[in-house]
Amino acid sequence: MMHYIFREMDTDDSGAISWEELSTFLTRFAIMMNQPQPSEKQVNMLFKLLDENKDGKISMKEMEEVLESIVQIIQGQFDSQYESMQYQEVLNEEEKLNEVAWNLF
């Protein structure tokens, strides 16, 4: 999937994504998703984030590394939320047991 997206963005087949290619892709994607088009500032911020070695282009490796980091962050948040939900379920079960116990006496 990542390779397909990268190829879609790399319209000149250079093996890297320029600022213009990123901007064009994001604009097309926003239109397709019926969302506001990204501002130049937003494109600049994303480009700076993805262009880790600051050579003025985004390589496949750079994109993969940044997106992997994002996935790990999201996964960590999901795991945290899941653990919190499990903990809350345990507390709810304990509360129910305590209520039953009090009603017995």
- Asked if residues 43 and 19 have their Cβ atoms less than 8 Å apart, the reply is yes
pTM of the model: 0.66
pLDDT attached to residue 105: 44
Q: Helices (H), strands (E): how many in the chain?
A: 4, 2
Domain range enclosing 44: 2-104
CA distances (Å), 88 to each of 28, 97, 101, in order?
43, 14, 20
CATH code, domain with 35:
1.10.238.10
pLDDT at 93: 61
User: What is the Cα Rg of the chain in Å?
Assistant: 23
Domain count, the chain: 1
User: In the prediction, which pLDDT does 39 show?
Assistant: 93
Per-residue pLDDT of the chain (105 residues; tens, 9 = 90+): 778 888 989 999 999 999 999 999 999 989 988 989 999 999 999 899 899 999 999 999 998 888 777 667 766 666 666 566 665 665 566 565 555 556 554
* Tokens representing residue 36 in the block: 């506001």
